[in-house]
Every structure is written in structure tokens, then in C-alpha cells.
Amino acid sequence: MSKKCLNAIIVACFGLFSFPVLLRSADRSEQPNVLLLCVDDLRPELACYGKTYIHSPSIDSIAASGRAFHRHYVQAPTCGASRYALLTGMYGSAGNHALFERARRIGRGEVPQSMPGWFREHGYTTVSVGKVSHHPGGRGGPDWDDDAQIEMPASWSRHLHPSGEWQHPRGAMHGLANGEIRVKAGEMDVFQSVEGPDEIYPDGLTVDAALEQLDLLSSDQEHPFFLAVGILRPHLPFGAPAKYMEPYRGLQLPPIPHPTKPSGKTTWHGSGEFMKYNRWGRNPNADSAFADEVRRHYAACVSYADAQVGRVMERLEALGESDNTVIVLWGDHGWHLGEHGIWGKHALFEESLHAPLIISYKGMPKAGEPSQSIVETRDLFPTLCELAGLTIPDYLTGSSLHPILLDPESPGHDAISYRDRAQSIRNERFRLISHRDGSVELYDHQSPEGETKNVADSHPEVVSEMKQSMLEALARDR
């Protein structure tokens, strides 16, 4: 009897107690693969998160066979810093170039190993396709294709990004249909929907390359794989093939909650990333019809991204790898669609920091039941180590989510987030935001006002306790 057959029998007989045994084997080829699906700017606005007007069947299917974390928070509401936390398991700087800054320190011996690097050191073939770190393909230079400037040294066996008509990764990052590259944002439409196959937008090419890599990785009988696939949409500009827009044309959307600009000291901003595109002279904060059109095009991009996830999952199944692969679907941060008068990320409000996280593997107990426990992105590194039977590096201070994977009622922990001039901590009831100038925001999520009413003055003891907890957590990890 083969080891795979024996492991399957063990799982069937012993259920939740068997999974760590299944993932440990003297034969390296019997270790589980890891498939990490990174989706840019993805709100937890999916059917599996209760938003039934969104068409996301592929992601919903992962959630149905795994565990969706309904209270997952990222470390930073911006791509580069959030991905730093994902790929290193550590808190870091708030900027988009955090990983490039880390790369410059590696030569001085100051930097512990990354998550993909750790798996590579332990016998995995590690491959990155698309936008996994901040730059698609993981390189620097003017067009993000300079092999002399590597964003994550000693991490990936291969790190790829097909650019096609978009010429280079920088062109693809903000590309629209049929090779349109952003030169001046004001001359590029903020949204569009063009007839054609998935490959008329960059993510179609990314997934084509990911499928080729899956074929290669599956044929290797000696090494398990860690494959990370980065999908750009629904990042700005909101462009997707027309077929993904069809379900949303004329769709009545729910009202935007708390759509006005907040008063007092906050991390509110003027949505500069969104507003710099061509909007045909319209402002969604003053034009509800235009706001709904923006929201519909964002939804179309979500469905397009979901279809790309589906293509990867179908190939994984066709290759016979599904039963021995840990699957992670992760959004790098949220995105405001008019809440607080913001169209974008970059704030420390709930909408910027709350993002999808789903983990799935064969034999998961209570599969399909979501967890309401608070968790954060940096927990993924120790979690995947435990699921793969690897030693968890002693420099990681995040928490393995394995107990919650066994039982969705297991407790989580407070989540830390940050921007350049402010830091935040979220617990079961409150969000605290502490500004560099000493001012604070405290929001009570048990109150109907939520993050629209600062209650710091009436809860000084909560402010003090949460601020101290946040500072201690950051000090342990930096």
C-alpha cells in the first residue's frame, strides 16, 4: 500500500487528530504542498463572507472546504508593507518598499529568513508568479524587471511575471485591456469593461504562467512545492473582461454605510490614488449614480479575480494535487468604496484593514464553518510551518492558527496595524488608533456608531490598556 493511501486511511479514521501526522513523513515528497493565492485590494465582500450580490464561486468553494477567517486583519493598509508581514511573519515599516529595505540589510546579516526562504531551506521548490511581493515578479529598476535588484533574495527558486503586451511588470501593474499602459493616470480611465478572453488583462497571462508552473511542480516527485500566485485585480484601474461585468449591470447595490468624511483627528485622506485617474469630471462622493458605477466595476474585477482563482484550483485538481496541498486565499488589505468618504485604502479604519483569509486542506474538521476569532496576517508563517511539519523559527512572535483550523471556536488575539504616522490595535470590542502627535481615536464596535464616533474621552482606561498592549507587541517583534 502506498504512503498516500495509508495517510488517507489515517485521516478517515482519526479525523482532526490525524492532520499533523499526515503532514510529517520521512519521505520529503510526501510533505504537503502549499498554494498561496494573493489577491490585491480585495475587500471581504464575497458570497462566503455574506455578500450575496457578489459572484465569487471559486473562492466560495475554497471556503466551503476550509476555514474562512471573518475577522482577519492586515498589518498595513498598503501593498508593500502588508506583503512584508505576510512573507516575513513580522511587523515592519509602513512603506511600500519595506521588502527592498529588508533586501539591502540581508548582506549585513541582520535579517532572518523569509517564509518562502524557510520552506526552500527545508526542501521545497518555491515559486512566485505575479504580484506576491510588492513588485510583480519581485524585481526593481525603472520598469521592475532588473535582475540585479531582487525584492526577496534567497527566497524563491523561481519568481516570474509574464508581461506580454504590457511590456514589463510596471506596465502590467496598472494595465488596462490589450496592452494599455498607464503613462499619465489622468489619461487612463478609472474603470472599463472590454469584450474578450481573460488574457486581454494582465491577470490572464499571470494565471497562464501559474498553470505552467503547476504542471512542472507536480511532475517533480522529489520535492514538495510552495507556489504563490499574485492576482492584481481588483486593484485600480478597475478593468475586467465584459463578461464579468454582465451580472452587475444595473444591479441595485446596498447603501454605502457612513459615507461622510469624519470629523476630528483621523487617518482620513483624499483618495488621491483613485482621484488621479480619468473620472470624466465626476466625483463619487457627490454623485451617487457614479459611485454605484464604480462599485459595480469593482465587483466585476472581483469576479474576474475569482475566475482566475478557479483556473488555478481546476488545474490543481486535474493534476491530482488537491488532496496533498494546503490552500491559502489571502487579501493584502481592504478597500474603501465610499465609507468615510474614502475611495481607496491607506487609512486605519476597519474597511482598509479587514481582508479575506481562507485556509483549506483535506480532512479539516468542521470544514466550511467560518471563524469569528480575530487573527492577523503575520500568523500565516507559523501556521504553514506547523501544517507542513516544519520547525517554527524562534524569531516569529505571531500565533499559529492551527487550533482555530481544528476548531473555529478557538480564541484568536488582538491585531496590530500601522501607517507612517499612526498605529492601531483591534480587540473584540474596540479599535484604538494612536497618532504620533499623541492624539488617539477609540471606536466601540458594540455601539451602532462603530468607527464614526470617537469615544476615547469616555474610556481613558481602555485607551491606556490597549496602547500599552500595542506598544509591547510591537517591541517584541521589531
Whole-number Å distance between alpha carbons of 459 and 106: 43
Residues sharing a CB contact under 8 Å with residue 219, sequence separation 6 or more, in sequence order: none
Whole-number Å distance between alpha carbons of 276 and 269: 13
DSSP code, position 156: -
**pLDDT value at residue 107:** 79
Judged against a pLDDT cut of 90, whether residue 381 lies above it is answered with yes
User: Whole-model pTM?
Assistant: 0.94
- Tell me the pLDDT of the chain averaged across its residues: 93
CATH architecture of 34-415: 3-Layer(aba) Sandwich (3.40)
> Average pLDDT, stretch 31-43?
98
Q: Which tens digit of pLDDT belongs to each residue from 427-437?
A: 999 999 999 99
Q: Which residues make up the CATH 3.30.1120.10 domain(s) of the chain?
A: 421-478
Judged against a pLDDT cut of 50, whether residue 37 lies above it is answered with yes
DSSP code, position 112: P
Judged against a pLDDT cut of 50, whether residue 332 lies above it is answered with yes
Q: Which tens digit of pLDDT belongs to each residue from 51-67?
A: 999 999 999 999 999 99
Residues sharing a CB contact under 8 Å with residue 110, sequence separation 6 or more, in sequence order: none
> Average pLDDT, stretch 107-128?
94
**pLDDT value at residue 226:** 98
Residues sharing a CB contact under 8 Å with residue 257, sequence separation 6 or more, in sequence order: 339
**pLDDT value at residue 82:** 98
Judged against a pLDDT cut of 60, whether residue 288 lies above it is answered with yes
Domain 421-478: which topology? Arylsulfatase, C-terminal domain (3.30.1120)
Q: Annotated active-site positions, please?
A: 79, 134
Q: How far is CA 97 from the centre of its chain?
A: 17
Q: Which residues make up the CATH 3.40.720.10 domain(s) of the chain?
A: 34-415
Whole-number Å distance between alpha carbons of 387 and 364: 11
> Average pLDDT, stretch 377-388?
98
Judged against a pLDDT cut of 70, whether residue 5 lies above it is answered with no
Measure Cα distances from 233 to 52, 201, 241, 319 in Å. Answer: 20, 9, 12, 26
Quote the percentage of the chain above a pLDDT of 90: 92
Q: Which tens digit of pLDDT belongs to each residue from 289-323?
A: 999 999 999 999 999 999 999 999 999 999 999 99
pLDDT band with cut points at 50, 70 and 90 for residue 18: very low
pLDDT band with cut points at 50, 70 and 90 for residue 24: very low
Neighbours of 92 (CB within 10 A): 23
